[in-house]
Amino acid sequence: MMSETELIARFFRGLGAQRDDVVLGIGDDAALLRVAADHELVLTTDALVEGVHFLPGAPASSLGHRALAVNLSDIAAMGAEARWALLSLNLPQAEEQWLTAFAQGFGALARRHAVALVGGNVSRGPLSITVQMAGVVPAGGALRRDGARPGQLLFVSGSVGDAAAGLKLLRGELQAPAAAANFLQQRFEYPQPRLELGAALRGVASACIDVSDGLYVDAARLLRASDCGARIALEALPLSPALRQAEGDAAWQRALEGGEDYELCFSAPRDRLDAVAIAAARAATAVTRIGVIEAGQGLELESGNSLTQFSPLGFDHFRD
């Protein structure tokens, strides 16, 4: 049986990118890192718990990817650059095959975004994965939730609702043709955090949040922080062909309330529409204008000429 030290040395040391700003990585009491003087430090943490955020038996490679991706997405939503990750793993047992696949999923995504794994710990316990991400952003340049103003436009990246449909497929609660099913499951198991887009939106977006709990719930959070309301056009929601195929008439509802997409929802002034398009092109990420920020509170949904009522079932572990 491996010790924790052996296990970390074998599967996690040197995982991810090699970075010059890592003075001291895994192996001491803490990591030592360099932050440039004109930058602010950005810190976030998020966890995946078996039975809550993933199904028992979920592929380890996907878990390694998602545990990092959900944190990278928070960094992206701040318009920041991801740099250093810490990993806390609670494992029922140390299975070599599982650990190899987990490290592969984590490591591949980390290298893609130049993130170094600089510390962590492994404990015996019910399976859960907690990652902490540290990044940097030019001082004063971060995208916050509270900068939306009435009259500005509301956008979302990529397509929404896919990951929730992918999870339903994995649970056997939904059927779809193989190609569509494959696409949707990939969207759930290997979400792509929008770091390039977040960075490109610095100086362009007025507020930004990542869509982790569903577009309706997360847009409402951005609006609440900004003390504004918004009107969203249902027909404008970016739905993937696979989602339309799998969900039919329920696709727009999945797009509003389905979580785990890790797209960015953001606002920008009308006169920055061109700048938004340039940012999207530079990041090679689709961006769709879905509505307009309004004075007041709440989120109105517009369909054709009528307003639609909607009570979202946003993802919240402590709400029954």
Q: What does each C-alpha distance from 317 to 51, 163, 320 come to in angstroms?
A: 11, 18, 7
Q: How many other β-carbons are positioned within 10 Å of the β-carbon of residue 140?
A: 7
Residue 148 contacts its own copies per CB under 8 A? no
- Total binding residues for its own copies by CB under 8 A? 74
CA atoms within 13 A on the CB side of 163: 29
Q: How many other β-carbons are positioned within 10 Å of the β-carbon of residue 96?
A: 11
Q: Helix or strand or coil: residue 82? A: strand
Cα 251-185-289 angle, rounded to 5 deg = 45
Task: Write the interaction track for its own copies spanning residues 94-133; mark x where CB under 8 A is met and - where it is not.
Answer: x-----------------------xxxxxxxxx-x-x-xx
Q: Helix or strand or coil: residue 259? A: coil
Strands 116-124 and 128-138: unpaired
CA 19, CA 170: separation in Å to the nearest integer? 37
Q: Least distance in Å: CB of 93 to its own copies? A: 8
Q: Least distance in Å: CB of 289 to its own copies? A: 22
**Quick one: which H or E segment has residue 64?**
helix 60-77
Q: Least distance in Å: CB of 179 to its own copies? A: 33
Among 12, 15, 16, 42, binds its own copies (CB under 8 A): 42
Residue 49 contacts its own copies per CB under 8 A? yes
Q: Least distance in Å: CB of 125 to its own copies? A: 4
Kindly identify the residues of this chain, within the stretch 237-296, that bind its own copies according to CB under 8 A: none
Q: In this structure, what token pair is assigned to residue 235? A: 């027909």
Residue 142 contacts its own copies per CB under 8 A? yes
Among 95, 96, 235, 316, binds its own copies (CB under 8 A): 316
Q: Least distance in Å: CB of 129 to its own copies? A: 10
Among 77, 165, 184, 201, binds its own copies (CB under 8 A): 77
**Per CB under 8 A, which region of 3-11, 240-248, 285-293, 296-304 contacts its own copies?**
3-11
DSSP bridge partners of 288: 156
Strand residue runs (E) in 139-256 = 153-157, 207-211, 229-233
Q: Least distance in Å: CB of 303 to its own copies? A: 28
Among 74, 189, 247, 263, binds its own copies (CB under 8 A): 74
Residue 55 contacts its own copies per CB under 8 A? no
**Per CB under 8 A, which region of 148-156, 184-192, 208-216, 232-240 contacts its own copies?**
208-216
Among 13, 43, 281, 297, binds its own copies (CB under 8 A): 43
Going by C-beta distance under 8 Å and a sequence separation of 6 or more, which residues neighbour residue 299?
216, 219, 220, 223, 229, 230, 231, 232
Residue 24 contacts its own copies per CB under 8 A? yes
Q: Are 122 and 2 in contact (CB under 8 A)?
A: no
CA atoms within 13 A on the CB side of 170: 21
Q: In this structure, what token pair is assigned to residue 244? A: 């339309």
Q: Least distance in Å: CB of 138 to its own copies? A: 11
